[in-house]
Structure 1
Amino acid sequence: MKVPRWASAVRWYLRELTGETEYDRYCEHHRHRHPLAPVPTRREYEVLRTAHREANPQGRCC
């Protein structure tokens, strides 16, 4: 069964909105840079990301 074009666009948008693609990009980067190391789970990734954001706050205007 072929998925309609609009459905794949909605899926892409929702994945971007929820951060799924960010984790996927991180996994690809991790596999490329550290091929022998295990890839962190989604939960481990979220903990690492939160710790990094708290240690390196970004100033925002809005």
Structure 2
Amino acid sequence: MGRVAEIVRQIGWYWGSLMGDNHYRRYVEHHRKTHPGEVVLSEREYWRMRHDATEASPNPRCC
């Protein structure tokens, strides 16, 4: 049963990645590493920025 549980966990992680569930967490990790001392956007501000940036460019990145 352990192998099946691992496969289900991996599928869940993959699906979550496709749906954007971990984007904000990855943003926070990246921002803290590459821009120390700067304010990190709240999750709401982050999604608003992504939405607004996507309208202008399909692949918004800070760096």
Query: TM-score of the superposition, structure 1-length normalised?
Result: 0.65
1:36 corresponds to: 37
Query: Which 4+ runs in 1 deviate beyond 4 A?
Result: none
Q: Taking every aligned residue pair, what percent have the same amino acid on both sides?
A: 38
Query: In structure 2, what is the Cα distance between the partners aligned to 1:39 and 1:31?
Result: 8
Higher-RCO chain (CA-CA 8 Å, sequence separation at least 6): 1
- With over 3 angstroms needed to count, the CA separation of the structure-2 counterparts of 1:19 and 1:57, relative to structure 1, is closer
Which sections of structure 1, spanning at least 5 residues, go unmatched?
A: none
Q: CA RMSD in A?
A: 2.2
Aligned to 2:22: 21
Q: Deviations over 1:1-60 (max 9, x none)?
A: x7x2122112212211220222222212111122112321221111111111122257xx
Per the alignment, residue 49 of structure 1 pairs with 50
Aligned twin of 2:13: 12
Query: What is the aligned length?
Result: 56
